[in-house]
Amino acid sequence: MTYKSVNPYDGKVLKTFEELTDKQLEMALETAATCFETWRHTTFAERAAVVAKAAAIMHARVDEFARPVTLEMGKLFDEARGEVVLSADIIDYYAKNAERFLAPQHLKPSSGEAEVESTPFGVLFGVEPWNFPYYQLARFAAPNLMAGNVVMVKHAGCVPQCAIAFEKLWLEAGAPAGAYTNLFISYDQVNRVIDDPRIKGVALTGSVEAGKIVAGRAGQSLKKSTMELGGSDAFIVLEDADLDKTVKWAVWGKMNNTGQCCVAAKRFIVVEELADRFLDKFQTALAALKPGDPMDKATTLGPLSTEAALVKLLDQVKRAVAKGATLVMGGKRIDRPGAFMEPTILADIKPGDPAFREEFFGPVALFFRVKNEDEAVALANDSEFGLGGSVFTKDVARGKRVASRVDTGMMFVNHPTWTTPDLPFGGIKNSGYGRELSSMGIQEFVNKKLVRVASIDAPA
């Protein structure tokens, strides 16, 4: 594969990077394995000094880190700045809390003593996507480095400068060589890394297809894995929702990162009583978005990450309409340089339409009318995905009841699905398995080792 920075705003190639040779890859693996043998024996305080410094560096140089995000994948600059701050917050969160999260758990056996210790696995391998070039790395690296593991990462081919910046961050913060390693490697080399006996665990954030390949490969070697895959999040609007506020959140939930978010609101399921008014306000708000240079504060609609992403989305819309879906608005490329697409709404989508099952990774909203709450829940659950979701209602108790009925990894009441360092993140069904962030995220790649003390004279 090719590691290439292409600015999706104007299509200009910024920089290209060579893949590692097999010899260079072997040296990186050996360095990481050697580093682990030292890093695993450091104290939490020693690790925290490095990890907290990495967070402080990001907090101090937000614009510097944000710039390559916008240039490489087109994220609005203010959103890129927000991602840098969020990533730094995640790193700092684990510097402060890891020791508490991994403290020995004292058990109360019927006799004697017992406790469960948390010990690191070893060298971990992460395969990470382009849509949040630092956040995805931070939530994998920070907890695992604090747990005593070391990490190697194959980042997406279109954000190589972000990948390099994040590796340099750890070295600047004082991490030893091999604690965090960026790998510019081919797909064949990815398989080699997964198979390598020095790799003890594998994490992937990406598509369902990539997840099946990577999880299957890891499984052949009986290696623990976590998968955060696609989503088709339901945004449920009940008849008692505050319409104006709900529409504002609908636009944010759909269009954050130009809709290129695993937990973007994708299926808007609105009870009949509010459906027409919601659709009218939603359409008006989307039509007001202004395409332009994502570095410009006046721009409210950025480009898609790549030309290929745009072409795929346009084809999905075309196929949906061919199967009977109604194009309420948009659906076309914007007539200007760069990978820009009109904000789009599709309605009247039937179960036989591929759009009913697919994930639309961009500025395309799927709109559904339902008669009542029960139909809304049934439709939300009629999906192979189960990452996030949200429900809007003035009755919070009702919202919590609906949230409990939706089969997904995360449900938000009166807010689109989102992420913070102290909330667990992950899904079920085709959206994957395992959790990142919070106290749960640091537990995935540690050995829960029982230490039992019994009397030598105790009966067998």
Q: Where are the alpha helices (DSSP H) in 7-76?
A: 22-39, 44-60, 62-73
Cβ proximity of 304 and 336 under 8 Å: no
Q: Is the Cα dihedral 264, 267, 270, 276 positive or negative?
A: positive
Strand order in the sheet with 180-182: 180-182, 150-154, 123-127, 199-205, 224-228, 432-433
- As beta bridge partners, residue 233 has 265
Q: Please tell me what DSSP assigns to residue 371.
A: S
Q: Which amino acid is at 354?
A: P
Rounded distance between C-alpha atoms, residue 136 and residue 134, angstroms: 5
Rounded distance between C-alpha atoms, residue 51 and residue 60, angstroms: 14
* Residue for token pair 């009949």: 272
Cβ proximity of 159 and 333 under 8 Å: no
Cβ proximity of 5 and 71 under 8 Å: yes
Tokens representing residue 369 in the block:
């009318």
Catalytically annotated residue among 35, 162, 261, 262: 262
- As beta bridge partners, residue 367 has 268
Assess whether 262 carries a catalytic annotation: yes
Catalytically annotated residue among 228, 342, 359, 444: 228
Tokens representing residue 265 in the block:
């609101």
Cβ proximity of 397 and 439 under 8 Å: no
Tokens representing residue 84 in the block:
């840098």
Q: What are phi and psi of 377, to 5 degrees?
A: -65, -45
Pairing of strands 326-329, 344-347: antiparallel
Q: What are phi and psi of 450, to 5 degrees?
A: -80, 130
Rounded distance between C-alpha atoms, residue 219 and residue 379, angstroms: 33
Q: Which amino acid is at 314?
A: L
Q: Tally Cβ neighbours within 10 Å of residue 422.
A: 12
Assess whether 35 carries a catalytic annotation: no
Rounded distance between C-alpha atoms, residue 432 and residue 231, angstroms: 9
Catalytic residues: 228, 262
